Amino acid sequence: MRKVHPEFAYQSRELEGQIEGILGDPPDRKNYQRMIDALVSEYAGGGGIEDVNMLAFALVDHIEFSDPKGLLAEAQDYEFGDPARVFAMASCKGEAAQQMYAALEKNLPELARQAIITAFLFKNPRKWDDDDQSLEQLSANDDGDDIEDEDGATDDFAQMFDKED
Phi and psi of 159, rounded to 5°? -70, -20
Checking if the pLDDT of 46 tops 80, the result is yes
pLDDT band at residue 13, thresholds of 50, 70 and 90?
Answer: very high
Identify the weakest region by mean pLDDT among 3-12, 104-113, 130-139.
130-139
Domain ranges of the chain: 2-130
120's CB contacts (< 8 A; 6+ apart) are 63, 65, 68, 71, 75, 90
Residues 30-38, mean pLDDT to the nearest whole number: 93
Between these two residues, 143 and 128, which has the higher pLDDT value? 128
Contact criterion met (CB below 8 Å) for 109 and 103:
no
SS3 78: coil
The predicted structure's pLDDT at residue 120 = 95
Q: Whole-number mean pLDDT of the chain?
A: 85
pLDDT band at residue 27, thresholds of 50, 70 and 90?
Answer: confident
pTM (two decimals): 0.77
CA–centroid distance for 88 within its chain: 20
Phi and psi of 27, rounded to 5°? -60, 130
The predicted structure's pLDDT at residue 129 = 74
Distance (Å, whole) CA 126 – CA 34: 29
Residues 89-108, mean pLDDT to the nearest whole number: 95
Checking if the pLDDT of 149 tops 60, the result is no
Contact criterion met (CB below 8 Å) for 70 and 85:
yes
Contact criterion met (CB below 8 Å) for 97 and 34:
no
Distance (Å, whole) CA 95 – CA 130: 34
Percent of the chain at pLDDT above 90? 64
The predicted structure's pLDDT at residue 144 = 60
